[in-house]
Chain A
Amino acid sequence: MSAESTTPVIAPALRLEGLYAGYGRFDVLHDIALHVERGEAVALLGPNGAGKTTLLRAIMGMVKQRRGVIEVAGTDVSRLPTHRIARGLVGIVPEGRRLFLGQSVEDNLRLGGLHLRHDHARTAQLLRSVFDLFPVVERYRARPATALSGGEQQMVAIGRMMMSDPELMLLDEPSLGLAPLAIQSMADALLALRERGRSILLVEQRVDLALQVCDRIYVLSGGRIVEQGAADDIDGRGRALIDAYLG
């Protein structure tokens, strides 16, 4: 699917247009244009300090956007507080997971579905879908989150995000610090999510993982989008270009 040329009939899962955002008085992101269609998995690659995390935080309303458009599923979220964005629009697996470590695996998941807490049937169904994707998580549901390995904690973080049933899923370097085996099962989980029709924006440093999971990629460097394209168009030359950007 060449998403650039078609005008979507339904609003894309994410549309960023002319976005400037940053901390204090300094912009980290400059003139960002990016979109994720419904059911599409998009990778955001780039070197350390490029602004990838800042971009995800801006979508969540955690970093003040100075200028530009942030639309999620047709809703302008640029003026919404984070907790409103989190209620069914955007779910995030943040950098470093940030599980609620003092609490059990199941409580972490239930907290993820906070805005659906009165809809018991829906919560049960979402919990079921998390457990279907990650049988290990079901086995460890009563354990404290701290008792799990890094890979298992990452599954819980993804599950927590799934529990809010969001229009758009953001993942910030989910493979970071995981063993090779855990990385592969994480990639499988992301592919399964894509198969289920979820819209995903994946921040990654590992190009192979990004190309395996995603339909399209963007490369961010110095706070600007410097490359973009379909994942299967990335030939040897494009690959070399990306590697150059990633250092």
Chain B
Amino acid sequence: MLLQVLLSGLAIGAVYGLMAMAFAIVFYVTRVINFATGQLLMVSIMITAALSRAGLPDIVSVVVGVLASTVAGVLIYLLAVRPVLRFDRFSFAWLVSTLGVAIVLQSLAAIIWGPTSRGFPALLNRDNLHIGGAGISVQELLTIIVAIVVLVGFELVRRRTLFGKLGQAISADPEMASAIGARVTGFAIAAFAIGGLLAGVAGILVGPITFSNPYLGDTYGIFGFIALMIGGIERPAAAMGAGSCSASCPSVRTRSSARRRPTGSRSSSSWPCC
């Protein structure tokens, strides 16, 4: 029973974790929080669902959906973030402009596909596995695996490659990084692309257990953002961990928190939603 809760929790937590990662990679490189990240997840869900309804094979719909959110991520940087940073590198105008993009994307989706919920292809959600008496769908298992691969991949690149170290350098001191020859703008575009890609993938992974709805970006955006805040905004890996824990812990937490309160500020008490 506990295992069942943990497994389902882990799967949905992995989605929040991917969303946290999407926020964190963008912030890590550019110091910008892309408040339209949740809407990027929505874009991939809506486009995949629409293409699938139009009769395209699942694989094509999924690839186009993820590509769309990736491209949308880059466009957000080019159209809504770079212009305001150019005007003043230290202003917080991106806060307003990315929130604006979120509303625009949401409204556009509602105009194109209507404001009501529609189906999403089941993908791998039909097949079930059994692990020690608990059931998990292949889709959920895939979600957990993808989250782990992304996490490990990110940390390997960050710590082991010159590219990853350059990312750290840009994060710490973008001007000095450009003074050693780094294309800071190129990195920023890549970060927004990866953010869009991760949000898109999260959308595909969670799609089959939800539905396609223009407003569902909000929910996942907020969860991802909270996971980012808990994990620590400087550390994408921790943000992802926080996202995963947050969803799988609530049932366990209600029992343990009475006994032992964590000393750090990173307690799980700030979860209004689980």
**What is the interface of chain A, defined by CB distance below 8 A to chain B?**
60, 62, 81-83, 86-87, 92, 94, 98, 100-103, 107, 110-112, 114-115, 117, 160, 164
Contacts and interface: CB of A to CB of B under 8 A. Distances in A.
- The 6 A-B pairs of least Cβ separation, nearest first, read A86-B181, A82-B178, A114-B181, A98-B176, A87-B181, A100-B169
Nearest to B175: A62
Interface string B83-95: 0000000000000
B111 to A, nearest CB: 40
A42 B181 CA distance: 24
Contacts of A87: 181
Contact of A86 (B165, B166, B168, B180): B180
A117 B175 CA distance: 20
A31 B183 CA distance: 31
Contact of B182 (A60, A62, A83, A103): A83
A69 to B, nearest CB: 21
Given A98-B173, A102-B172, A112 B180 contact: yes
26 contacts: A62-B175, A81-B178, A82-B175, A82-B179, A83-B178, A83-B181, A83-B182, A83-B184, A86-B181, A87-B181, A94-B176, A98-B176, A100-B168, A100-B169, A100-B172, A100-B176, A102-B168, A103-B165, A103-B169, A110-B162, A111-B165, A111-B169, A112-B180, A114-B182, A164-B180, A164-B181
A68 to B, nearest CB: 21
A92 B168 CA distance: 20
A102 B165 CA distance: 10
A114 B178 CA distance: 10
A80 B68 CA distance: 33
Contacts of B165: 100, 103, 107, 110-111
A153 B169 CA distance: 16
Given A62-B179, A94-B176, A114 B166 contact: yes
A83 B162 contact: no
Nearest to A96: B176
Contacts of B179: 60, 62, 82, 86, 92, 94
Given A82-B175, A83-B182, A164-B181, 19 more contacts: A62-B178, A62-B179, A81-B178, A82-B178, A83-B181, A86-B181, A87-B181, A92-B179, A100-B173, A101-B172, A102-B168, A102-B172, A110-B162, A110-B165, A111-B162, A111-B180, A114-B166, A114-B182, A115-B181
Contacts of B184: 83
Interface string B165-207: 1101100110110111111100000000000000000000000
Contacts of A107: 162, 165
Given A98-B173, A100-B172, A117 B162 contact: yes
